[in-house]
Chain A
């Protein structure tokens, strides 16, 4: 079974600082997704990473994928309070196409 691990699980950072969230997975996969979840809300798709070396950026968030290392990173630049949320990565088993395995999430709090 595919295991997806994120670290850190909890992250408290000051506004204006940079930080990186890591997502490791245990089995070969060529697709990785990042989601955001606000408290009491559902998950919102942020990025889809489809190949080794893929990099996507949206505002202060940048995601990358290294399929050889089975690692994805979500980098936060100059954090602002609005980025406070829980971030999940999700990996799909190859040749199934349909079972998304989610990490345990990283709860991010940005402090003014």
Chain B
């Protein structure tokens, strides 16, 4: 168990550019989640995958955000035409396919949009 891995750790980009983040979940975990966390706040749900299927997506998630998990293993989160308000820590988590399993979080990707 190597834990949830996220890359890059930090990303600085200019407003209007596109960015893509990668998450590698714990290998036996079928469920994968993306969260966003800003300073002083708890993580905010963005989207959830069961294997390769994206089953839930936050209503707060703008059309500029898209996530994929093509083979049910790693996932990518893309933000198009970034805005300064997108600056945050993007957290990936995975869990086992059991009702009560806790989330196991990665170390996150910190995005700064200038």
User: Which B residues touch A27, using CB under 8 A?
Assistant: none
Q: Does A102 contact B (CB under 8 A)?
A: yes
User: Which B residues touch A99, using CB under 8 A?
Assistant: 45, 48, 56, 58
Contacts A43-B91, A99-B48; is A104 near B102 (CB within 8 Å)?
no
User: Which B residues touch A4, using CB under 8 A?
Assistant: 42
User: Which A residues touch B41, using CB under 8 A?
Assistant: 104-105
Q: Does A28 contact B (CB under 8 A)?
A: no
Taking a contact as CB atoms under 8 Å apart, the answer to whether A96 and B102 are in contact is no
Specify which of A42, A45, A102 lies most central, judged by the most chain B CB atoms within 10 Å of its CB. Answer: A42
- Interface size bucket, B side? 20 to 34
Taking a contact as CB atoms under 8 Å apart, the answer to whether B56 and A102 are in contact is no
Least distance between B69 CB and chain A CB atoms (Å)? 14
Taking a contact as CB atoms under 8 Å apart, the answer to whether A45 and B103 are in contact is yes
Least distance between A99 CB and chain B CB atoms (Å)? 5
Least distance between B32 CB and chain A CB atoms (Å)? 10
Q: Does B85 contact A (CB under 8 A)?
A: no
CA A88 to CA B43, docked complex, whole Å: 9
Give which listed residue, A41, A45, A104, contacts B107 with CB less than 8 A.
A41
Taking a contact as CB atoms under 8 Å apart, the answer to whether B107 and A98 are in contact is no
Taking a contact as CB atoms under 8 Å apart, the answer to whether B56 and A42 are in contact is no
Q: Does A22 contact B (CB under 8 A)?
A: no
- Contacting residues of chain B (17-69) with chain A, CB-CB under 8 angstroms: 31, 33, 40-45, 48, 50, 55-56, 58
Q: Does B2 contact A (CB under 8 A)?
A: no
User: Which A residues touch B93, using CB under 8 A?
Assistant: 43
Q: Does A33 contact B (CB under 8 A)?
A: yes
Closest 3 CB pairs of A and B: A102-B42, A45-B102, A42-B105
Q: Which residues of A contact B (CB under 8 A)?
A: 4, 31, 33, 41-45, 48, 50, 88, 90, 96-105
Q: Which residues of B contact A (CB under 8 A)?
A: 31, 33, 40-45, 48, 50, 55-56, 58, 91, 93, 99-100, 102-108
Chosen A-B contacts, 10 in total, with CB atoms closer than 8 Å, are A4-B42, A31-B100, A33-B102, A33-B103, A43-B43, A88-B43, A100-B45, A100-B103, A101-B45, A105-B40
